[in-house]
Structure 1
Amino acid sequence: MSKDVMLKDGVLASQTIAALMERGVIDGAHPARLQPASLDLTLSSRAWRVRASFLPSRARTVAARLAGGLAMQEIDLSSGAVFERGCVYLVELNERLALPAGVEGAANPKSSTGRIDVFVRLVTDYGAAFDEIPAGYSGPLYAEISPRTFSILARTGSSLNQLRLKCGEFRLDDAALRRLNEQSPLVDGPADIAGGLGLSVSLRSEDGFVGWRARRHSALIDVDKVGALDRHDYFEPIAAPKSGFIILDPDEFYILASKEALAVPPDYAAEMTPISPGLGEFRVHYAGFFDPGFGWRPDEQGEGGINGSRGVLEVRSHDAPFVLEDGQLVARLVYEKMAARPERLYGETIKSNYQGQGLKLSKHFR
């Protein structure tokens, strides 16, 4: 299908993405940015402060929309620049695509991006939806960046979101998900499968606290510095409530953890879907992609099991205070079939920051 690269139905693995890079399907990418089932995208030197979030629509390019009055200021990221909280920016990415007719793309913020409350969405020319790349797309890629709680420092080469490529039919329906769970358990307990795998929130803890609430007016976060910050300067701990519930304040940002430990077997990937409005007036969906091997480890038979990796939940309430109870359903995971097993799994030989995680802040914090 694509210059001698044989593509099967499913989410493309790192080795296939690398082959497409070599053939010019993905231009401007570096092999060091490959993950088991995704590619970390990087900022170029060109950025704009814009008046508001926007989509080009099917009739226009991003450049045409910027020239039409949406751009307020052009910014050079070569030496780094501050992205202020509450503002919206657009950055041209280093990577360009020339996808074959049967390959589509999707994007999401990286885990570390979501955990510092930076809203990042992919934008394409003639795009009618964020984070979606239609099959056969050829052109540049842009990232819309809107820090919500903390201002950030970023520069050319910084990576805030990631790209996945998919072919044909790849999403598992509930029947297939139940069969997979019978073969290789996906959670460390009963599996709630209805429109995906249900996740509930944990608000009980033996060590006395169950989450973190972001502090406003904190110092700048350099997105490229790992382990540089004191978490207490940016977050305050949430004590385990004796009542069994907490009240989410509107427009505040929380880091919580799932009650369930998760596993993503090597031949699958998973994505956290936006919660149904019927489940509550809050959002649990920033960086919702799980690579093959997340929370999974091989046993003596090589079939694998769960290693205790919790789902970290980036939570924001909407317009009204909202009660969140221990064990309450807050999100669902949909599982997707890989087109091939990645040569390296999450947490094996690559630097995986969140394998075996519990309640964990982003990699920026000590």
Structure 2
Amino acid sequence: MMRANLNAKDTVTMTAAAQNAPNTGILDDQRDGILPAAEISALWQAGVIRANQPPAEKQIQPASLDLRLGETAYRVRASFLPGHGEPVSHKLESLKLHEIDLREGAVLETGCVYLVPLLESLSLPDTLTAAANPKSSTGRLDVFTRVIVDGGIEFDQIPAGYEGPLYAEISPRTFSILVRTGSRLSQLRLRRGDAAVAPEDMLRLQADAGLITGTSDAGVAPTNDARGITLSVDLRGEDETGLIGYRAKRHSGLVDVDRVGAYDVLDYWDPVHVRGDARIILDPDEFYILASREAVQIPADYAAEMVPYDPLVGEFRVHYAGFFDPGFGAAEAHGAGARAVLEVRSHEVPFILEHGQTIGRLVYEHMASRPDALYGQDLGSNYQRQGLKLSKHFKADGSRA
């Protein structure tokens, strides 16, 4: 898609991008799609993405930007959206209970809602929109995180032309967490135009590339408004142990979100093993980590997102952290298919899941161009080739110290 109707801000932005990042292709090919890392870097240099600190190591991912917490967290009475024309700061003044300094680290407690101004802000041209989601590790800790903006009427959605700050709303549900300035709980995708893959193209991709493998009945969701590849749940286990998932323990210890491989699994989780009838009853308001029956691949020219809540398949939320980067599970990025980890919480009533039951949908989108590096390709990616896997904070072998 060629850029049209450039305003003054767009002209300055694109000129700066061309000067500072001439090899990114930001002006060469203005196709619709999710922006890759090279274009995200160019936008940062051009001032479309702003921060008073330079980008951190690995902050820019193949198809997304990690967002960093700022210096202050505000405990607020309740979650909120500012509404049309209303700055977040105005609502915050009437809703905040107290301020917490994050510069040396601070605890965010379960059952509380916090609002944190992020280090990054945006000055989007009229041709770009953005969307946010919790990072995979955040979702697997049962930390409910959403991004809001001035004048916002939706969570995690940033409209074209938005200029202003970004805020993270954070509500730990099971584990209290230790965070600090610079901690990364959310990620941002930038989108040009319509990136959606048409249903007929989804069928073709599934036939040609094997987007998901391991079952014979996987296909495109039949409803017109629910484009995506359907996924089912594995309740038979991946090995002789019969392990099918984990159920989070309440009243566990603190989790430092910046520590990797630091915590004993059994101090925080109860393993769930297969039963004879290969089903599980989800208790209301309990948090489970399960896995898809199918292995997922994201080709290099695509990104994907898990639909977090679909009442058509049950009254439960299946995914908090919905972004899948190009190369996830793909052979070209040293993968051989990777199962989707499901962050599951039932709403209101107990709900029975059976082995092979449809539990979610994976929606694919076009990349505006292929990233220079793919997920799992020399990026230190934590979840490539994953099966059933807890967040990176827990010891990989499940051991207890």
Aligned counterparts of 1:24 and 1:74: Cα–Cα separation in 2: 29
Task: Say whether 1:357 aligns with 2:389.
Answer: no
CA shift, 1:308, in A, is 2.8
- The yes-or-no answer on 1:20 pairing with 2:39 is no
Find the residue that maps to 1:160 and give its secondary structure: strand
Matching of residues 316-331 of structure 1 within 5 Å? 316-331=345-360
Cα distance in 1 for partners of 2:344, 2:329 equals 21
Using the TM superposition, give the Cα deviation of residue 306 of structure 1 relative to its aligned residue in structure 2, in angstroms.
Answer: 6.4
| 8 Å CA contact retained: 1:275, 1:332 | no
Q: What is the SS of the residue equivalent to 2:71?
A: strand
Which residue of 1 is the match for residue 148 of structure 2? 123
1:293 aligns with 2:327: yes
Matched, 1:93 2:121: no
SS class of match (1:166): strand
Higher-RCO chain (CA-CA 8 Å, sequence separation at least 6): 1
2:303 matched residue in structure 1: 269
Determine helix, strand or coil for the equivalent of 2:91: helix
Question: Aligned residue for 1:301?
Answer: none
Corresponding residue of 2:361: 332
Residue in 2 that maps onto 1:40:
66
Structure 2 equivalent of residue 56 of structure 1:
82
Q: Distance in 2 between matches of 1:50 and 1:57?
A: 17
Q: Which amino acid in structure 1 is aligned with residue 375 of structure 2?
A: Y
The unaligned stretches of length 5 or more in structure 1 are 299-303
Mapped contact 1:11–1:337 kept (Cα < 8 A): yes
User: Amino acid of the residue matched to residue 210 of structure 1?
Assistant: I
- The corresponding residue for 1:233 is 267
Q: Does residue 163 in structure 1 map to residue 174 in structure 2?
A: no
Q: 1:256, 1:178 → 2: CA distance?
A: 26
Identity among equivalent pairs (%): 57
Question: Normalising by the residue count of structure 2, what TM-score does the alignment of the two structures yield?
Answer: 0.88
Tell me, yes or no, if the aligned pair for 1:275 and 1:330 is still in contact at 8 Å: no
Letter of the aligned partner of 1:13 in structure 2?
Answer: P
Once the two structures are overlaid, the 10-residue window that deviates more, 191-200 or 111-120, is 191-200
SS at match of 2:40: helix
Question: Are the counterparts in 1 of residues 35 and 368 from structure 2 also a CA contact under 8 Å?
Answer: yes
SS at match of 1:79: coil
Amino acid of the structure 1 residue aligned with 2:73: A
Cα deviation for residue 182 of structure 1 reads 2.2
Q: Secondary structure at the match of 1:175?
A: helix
State the partner residue of 2:128: 103
The residue correspondences of 1:191-202 to structure 2 (distance < 5 A) are 191-194=218-221, 195-202=227-234
Q: Distance in 1 between matches of 2:56 and 2:174?
A: 32
Deviation at 1:210, TM superposition (A): 0.3
Superposed displacement of residue 149, structure 1: 0.3
Q: Aligned partners of 1:228 and 1:79: how far apart in 2?
A: 20
TM-superposed deviation, 1:278: 2.4
In angstroms, what is the RMSD of aligned CA positions? 1.3
Please state how far the C-alpha of 1:212 moved relative to its aligned partner: 0.1
What secondary structure does 1:280 align onto? coil
Distance 1:220 1:31, change over 3 A: closer
In the TM superposition, residue 305 of structure 1 has moved relative to its aligned partner by 9.7
Using the TM superposition, give the Cα deviation of residue 74 of structure 1 relative to its aligned residue in structure 2, in angstroms.
Answer: 1.3
Deviations 1:194-249 (A, max 9, x none): 12100100000232210000000000000000000001100010011111111000
Indicate the larger mover: 192-201 or 147-156: 192-201
Are the equivalent residues in 1 in contact too, given 2:310–2:317 (CA < 8 A)?
Answer: no
Of 172, 178, 194, which aligns to 1:153?
Answer: 178
Alpha-carbon displacement from aligned partner over 1:290-349 (angstroms, at most 9, x marks no partner): 000000013xxxxx8961300000000111111000000000010000000000000011
For the residues of structure 2 that align with 1:45 and 1:251, how far apart are their CA atoms?
Answer: 31
Partners of 1:59 and 1:200 lie apart in 2 by: 42
Paired position in structure 1 for 2:247 = 213
Match of 2:108 in 1: 83
Identify the structure with the greater strand proportion: 1
**2:281 is the alignment partner of 1:247:** yes
Contact map agreement 2:331 2:337 (CA 8 A) in 1:
no
Name the CA distance, whole Å, in 2 between partners of 1:18 and 1:288: 22
